[in-house]
A and B are shown apart, each in its own frame.
Chain A
Amino acid sequence: MNKKVFLGALTVAGLAAGASAAATLDDVKARGSLKCGSNEGLAGFAAPDANGVWQGFDVSLCRAIAAAVLGDAQAVEFVPLTSQTRFTALAAGEVDVLVRNSTWTFSRDTDLKLDFVGANYYDGQGFMVRNDLGVSSAKELDGSTVCIQTGTTTELNLADFFRVNNISYEPVPVATNAEGQQQYLAGACDVYTTDISGLAATRATFENASEHVILPEVVSKEPLGPAVRHGDSEWADIVRWTLNALIAAEEYGVTSANVMELAAGPTTNPEINRLLGTEGELGAMIALDKDWAVRAIAAVGNYGEVFERNIGEATPIGLARGLNAQWTEGGLLYAPPFR
């Protein structure tokens, strides 16, 4: 009898889990807000302003999803996750989507039962040195001391790169980016290495930023992207195509300023018409209404606007588009057609 009850409970629990996994969209709508796993604070990507409202590059994607699904860009609960807790929190259903500068890798996509739905930022590991070191390439770094965060993929990438190029170096292990920054400034190491976006953000805080230079070599691929749980393809579609809508909007010249005008009536470009719902029924195919992309773009702007506002060259972080330019401009951003 007891065993039966136990098995029954397990079945019910399993069903409940299956049901909850398959209906993230319904959960979000019922809750009235999107739970977005975010960084606890990463310059340019996620940070609270003085009123406690989150801003940043990753944050904008969460807001775009909320705008598309709920019509309300601020209806997002940000759940700060550390690099240790992020994937378990997503798997356990504590968040609906994880947009936390997480690298899309094979094992995370398969073994951890996550689905990366795209890349919103193509990053890579780089090196920063002082100008007066007189170094212009990472291959001239023989015999240098390198500050490196322990326990990260950057540590392994560094070892690979220097071994392949037959360069000797002395690692100075640091625990956090903040510590690395201080050690580098104090002269404990000649080189500081981490993701290029992180290096740029770090360099932007220096009093004399022009005395430091980021070397041209990029030694790893770090495609950062939003992730959702395995097993709910409908929800994955919504997140994937919201990201694609922002990217496509930039390609077709749709901005937060002109999106309302363009959505008012059909334009001469059928791709824009389908994206903005003035032609076809694309929204209904992902269980949203036809204005979903209009709301997302109106709320945060297209990909280019989000980039320029948070991490672009006008901001203190000052990142160039680089790999994150549209494919038409020599970058990697390539949204599949909206049809």
Chain B
Amino acid sequence: MSAGRTDPVAFVRREMLAPAAPPPGQVGVIRWVRENLVSSWFNAILTALSLYAIRYVLSGVLPWTLNGVWNATSLNECREIRDARGLETAACWAVINERWLQILFGFYPTDDRLLATLFYSDALAAAGGADAVFNGGLNATQRVEFVSGMKNELSNGLIFLFGYWRPLLALACLVVAVAPILYSSLPRVLLLFSLAFPFVAFFLLWGGSVWLPLLVALGLLATMLIGRAVGARFGMLGGSLAGIAAFLVIFMNPLSFLGVTGLFPLLPKVLGVMDSILPWGLSAIPSDQFGGFMLAIIIGTSGIVLSLPLGIVLALGRQSSMPLIQWVCVTFIEVIRGVPLIVWLFTASLLLNYFLPPGTSFDLLLRVIIMVTLFASAYIAEVVRGGLAALPKGQYEAADSLGLDYWKSMRLIVLPQALKISIPGIVNTFIGLFKDTTLVVFIGLRDPLGLTNAIRATAEWNGIYWELYIFVGLLFFTFCFFMSRYSMYLEQRLRTDHR
């Protein structure tokens, strides 16, 4: 088609036609509806039925939820307000509005002194100042009256922020401490804080002398350093022995069988000296005052953090070629796993009292944390064993052929792959563990569900069910949903295959 051709061409299109719109039935919402909802007559019927079911549920739930009464002082008042508004049904969210602090924290004491100093200073001055009210001037009855009067004045939001600053700060620290472990993009220096976190949290939650957690941390550090220093000179065995000796001297009395008391352990002595020089600390709070959702987080977090390493060790032990270690691990796993958690909790709360000498009060919360940890670690061990079994034998042999010793081959070759495979199972166990913390209600700890019972026992709120259960359910769902999402993120990030 050269330029010289002079064929009479009637019309030559010199530009592209704009694409025509697809037929109306093939685009946008209509197409989506046609493909997904009414692609055949059978699906159309299913769609109609589903829509009806959804509408039926929502028409029951939504008015109840959205028309809920938020401001009332009792269930009866809720009902009156509902009738006054002419509504058929209405949730009585007022109970949450009044009692949410109790569901979150149980009867954990608020920092009344801080609250009074900040927001109730006139009445505090009238009552004789902070020292007179909170340091022995008043007896418990007068103090309770003062504090009740103050709390009736203050809003729940203020009490939440300032009265419960210790658990809130501990929670904030938990977030900071966990972040570098969960997300590897954060600076590694933060891991030092993660190591220090248990001691910080203990101090914030239980209070008492600041020196106790500090000295325990220093004692552990000293044990490790001594072990390492001696180990560098006299080999691994000497190092371990020196470390054990240092631990015994610092934390226990190794000479008790000789009848020598008063010399060791060193820790309480240093503690006494430090306390007399600088008596710093927060008011001590015994664990039987812990409660609410805070209790679930404390038990759940401790259980999760402690059970993972223990579970891995158990899984490796079960695969060990040394019969003694293998038997011990197998017995432990099978016994712990073969008995329901509630039985172990009853053991912790009731039976241990009979075995321990009278007068020893072994903290109930600590007993529960230990039992929950042991229980979860048996499950984790089996999950990790699944991961270990899924690795091809060639991986183990490859590690051996590189000349790696047992621990190196596990740490560098086997466990990274096995744990990656086990992530969904591990997180599954953790979510189960977190929800199982509500079982402590049966041994008298004030977990959120137990508190709903206590709240329902008051004259004002007797007869209220759904609102409380929904609130507690939402709290748990938030945490479990986060864990499940994180596990999916982790699987995505660690995916190295080419599927």
Kindly supply a per-residue 1/0 record for chain A positions 60-98, scoring 1 wherever the CB is within 8 Å of any chain B CB and 0 otherwise. 000000000001111101011110110011001110000
Q: Is B321 an interface residue (CB 8 A)?
A: no
- Per CB-CB distance, the 8 closest pairs between chain A and chain B, nearest first, are A205-B463, A41-B457, A41-B454, A47-B457, A74-B140, A17-B358, A47-B458, A74-B141
Tell whether B465 is near chain A: CB-to-CB under 8 Å. yes
Q: Name the CB-closest residue of A to B445.
A: A80
Which residues in window 88-103 of B have CB below 8 A to A?
Answer: 98-99, 102
Q: Are A40 and B288 in contact (CB under 8 A)?
A: no
What are 7 A-B contacts defined by CB distance under 8 Å?
A: A44-B457, A47-B459, A50-B98, A51-B148, A72-B141, A84-B442, A93-B358
Q: Which residues of B contact A52 (CB under 8 A)?
A: 102, 107
Q: Would you call B224 an interface residue if the criterion is a C-beta within 8 Å of the partner chain's C-beta atoms?
A: no
Instruction: Give complex CA distance A94, B287 in Å.
Output: 14
Distance, CA A79 to CA B139, complexed state (A):
21
**When chains A and B are docked, how far (Å) is the Cα of A193 from the Cα of B441?**
25
- For B76, B349, B358, B457, the residue with the greatest tally of chain A CB atoms inside 10 Å of its CB is B457
B456 touching A178 by the CB < 8 A rule?
yes
Q: Which residues of A contact B459 (CB under 8 A)?
A: 43-44, 47, 315-317
Cβ-closest chain A residue relative to B364: A94
Q: What B residues does A181 contact at CB under 8 A?
A: 463
B318 at the A interface (CB under 8 A): no
- The answer to whether A182 and B140 touch (CB under 8 A), given A17-B358, A40-B454, A85-B443, is no
B443 / chain A contacts, CB cutoff of 8 Å: 82, 85
Cβ of B455 < 8 Å from any Cβ of A? Answer: yes
> In the complex, which of the residues B107, B359, B462 contacts A48, with contact meaning CB atoms closer than 8 Å?
B107
* B145 nearest in chain A by CB position: A74
Among residues of A, the one whose C-beta sits closest to the C-beta of B139 is: A72
Compute how far the CA of A74 lies from the CA of B144 in the bound complex, rounded to whole angstroms.
Answer: 7
Interface residues of B in 437-494 (CB under 8 A from A): 441-444, 446, 450, 453-459, 462-463, 465
Identify the interface centre among A16, A48, A56, A81: most chain B CB within 10 Å of its CB.
Answer: A48
* A33-B139 Cα distance, complex, nearest whole Å: 11
Interface residues on A, range: 35 or more
Which residues from 136 to 174 on chain B have a C-beta closer than 8 Å to any C-beta of chain A? Answer: 139-141, 143-144, 147-148, 151-152
Contacts A43-B458, A205-B462: A82 and B442 contacting too (C-beta < 8 A)? yes
Interface of A is mostly: loop
Interface size on B, as a range, is 35 or more
Inter-chain contact B139/A71, CB cutoff 8 Å: yes
Q: Does B338 lie at the interface of the complex (its beta carbon under 8 Å from any beta carbon of A)?
A: no
Bound form: Cα–Cα A316–B141 in Å: 27
For A45, give the chain B residue with the smallest CB separation.
B457
Asked if A51 contacts B465 (CB within 8 A), the reply is no
Cβ of A252: which chain B residues have Cβ within 8 Å of it? none
- Residue A53, interface by CB 8 Å: yes
User: A327 an interface residue at 8 Å Cβ cutoff?
Assistant: no
Q: Is the CB of A43 within 8 A of B444?
A: no
Hey, which chain A residues are within 8 Å of B102, CB to CB?
48, 50, 52
Contact between chains at B98 and A178 (CB < 8 Å): no
Q: Is the Cβ of B444 less than 8 Å from the Cβ of A72?
A: no
CB of B350 within 8 A of chain A?
Answer: yes
Contact between B462 and A204, CB atoms less than 8 A apart? yes
* A13/B450 contact (C-beta < 8 A), A43-B459, A53-B144, A71-B139 known: no
Q: A79-B288, A80-B444, A85-B444 are known contacts; what are 14 more A-B pairs with Cβ within 8 Å?
A: A41-B450, A46-B457, A47-B458, A48-B107, A48-B455, A49-B458, A50-B99, A55-B458, A75-B139, A77-B288, A178-B456, A207-B79, A299-B141, A316-B76
- Could you tell me if B140 and A13 are in contact, using CB atoms closer than 8 angstroms? no
Q: Is A206 an interface residue (CB 8 A)?
A: yes
